[in-house]
Amino acid sequence: MAGAASALFLLDIKGRVLVWRDYRGDVTAAQAERFFTKLIEKEGDSQSNDPVAYDNGVTYMFVQHSNIYLMIASRQNCNAASLLFFLHRVVDVFKHYFEELEEESLRDNFVVVYELLDEMMDFGYPQYTEARILSEFIKTDAYRMEVTQRPPMAVTNAVSWRSEGLQFKKNEVFLDVIESVNILVNSNGQIVRSDVVGALKMRTYLSGMPECKLGLNDRVLLEAQGRATKGKAIDLEDIKFHQCVRLARFENDRTISFIPPDGSFDLMTYRLSTQVKPLIWVEAQIERHSRSRVEMLVKARSQFKERSTATNVEMELPVPTDASNPNVRTSLGSAAYAPEKDALVWKIKSFPGNKEYMLRAEFHLPSITAEESTPERKAPIRVKFEIPYFTVSGIQVRYLKIIEKSGYQALPWVRYITMAGEYELRLM
């Protein structure tokens, strides 16, 4: 997840702090003075328009509106573009409430300003930035503020990514857990690079304004609940959520809670950088029997359990650029010569686990060769496949709850798929 903001400052044109909100406790009001010093130093510099500055472990991101500076300070490696965009949304919200954003309007409405900053950012993470959503529970009349008890979002229907009044005859949710395996094996059979990139893709057909809760076999969550984690939990890395997920809730107790958009969207992506055993291993031996004939022997082996089956397996096997007239035999599947790729493409529709299949091919080459031939290009073997009902990481959806005030029953469907990403094995 991107780094969070430490604090947000509102300063006048002379650099004096009008309002500031501390979100993480790792910066002080002195940071505003340091920021303004850096700002003065940049005047006349060719990069004076740069909205980002760095000093002594703190990154400063700012925008100027009228006679006000809006500045975020962060000690983390944060997404500067995202936080600058957030500052522009802060300007829009303040203009919605005060007509004009300037020093006088801030001084006259500082209580409302603090209320808004508390709702718009939680523990340094942007939350609500839609003025119409905030207006549902923070109301103001001129310089007087009236705060009503905040109703649940499911009651107000104030969700910018979802339309109101949706109705379906059949309420369903489809969740696909898709993992792509990226792997590179060198010519000695050693794994040079491997990782897994995962995505939780959803398609929702739900009436009204439903509240969804998703539980995974996440190690941090299970340990916090005192559950056994041996062999069942996983460590998720580099998690990114759709904007509908309540980040503060996830930070507190690892609960994934959200009101989903209608239709298709990516709820969450993640990465695992653990060493991955190649799911399909391919070896190729090439023998030149004469200047005009080359024989290739290829072995493909599935290295996953028998209960799983890879589908739509496609192996792209490089051959000499001047090869022609192939004679191919396979123990399973079909193979075809693709001269535009200088490759033999071996396709196996269904490849069960713990099996090995072979391909033999004989190619003819031109009998005349150049005296000084250029070194032959050694392209890698590229593999594509899908394995349904299987994940490399072992991620599991423990529950998917759908709650809507009308009380209808929704059908959740969960599917797991592993597929090849950048999957290459260099020739032996």
Residue of 186, 190, 187, 192 lying closest to 428 (CA atoms)? 187
Mean pLDDT throughout 240-268? 89
Q: What percent of the chain has pLDDT over 70?
A: 86
Distance between CA atoms of residues 333 and 347, nearest Å: 6
Residue positions counted in the chain:
428
Sheet strands (E) in 149-307: 172-185, 191-205, 211-216, 237-241, 256-258, 263-272, 280-290, 293-302
Q: At which residue do the structure tokens 């006349």 appear?
A: 44
Q: First CA to last CA across the chain, in angstroms?
A: 40
Distance between CA atoms of residues 73 and 7, nearest Å: 5
Tens of pLDDT, residues 296-350: 999 999 999 999 999 999 999 998 887 777 899 999 999 999 988 889 999 999 9
Residue 187 has φ and ψ, to the nearest 5°, of: -70, -15
Sheet strands (E) in 75-209: 121-122, 125-126, 138-141, 144-147, 172-185, 191-205
- Judge whether 333 and 362 are in contact, CB under 8 Å: no
Other beta carbons within 10 Å of 111? 13
β-pairing, 191-205 vs 263-272, is antiparallel
- The conformational region for residue 104 under phi > 0 = left, psi -120 to 50 = alpha, else beta, is alpha
Distance between CA atoms of residues 191 and 184, nearest Å: 6
Tens of pLDDT, residues 370-386: 544 544 557 899 999 99
Mean pLDDT for the chain overall: 84
Q: Exposed, middle or buried: residue 135 (CB in 10 Å: 0-12, 13-18, 19+)?
A: middle
So what's the pLDDT on residue 105?
A: 83
User: Of all helices (H) and strands (E), which one includes residue 30?
Assistant: helix 30-42
Mean pLDDT throughout 187-197? 90
Distance between CA atoms of residues 362 and 288, nearest Å: 10
Lowest model confidence (mean pLDDT) among 146-150, 186-190, 288-292: 146-150
| Whether the predicted pLDDT of 141 surpasses 60 | no
Instruction: Point out which residues pair with 424 in neighbouring strands.
Output: 184, 382
Lowest model confidence (mean pLDDT) among 127-136, 267-276, 291-300: 127-136
Residue 105 has φ and ψ, to the nearest 5°, of: -65, -30
User: What are the structural domains of the chain?
Assistant: 7-150 (3.30.450.60), 172-276+392-417 (2.60.40.1170), 280-388 (2.60.40.1170)
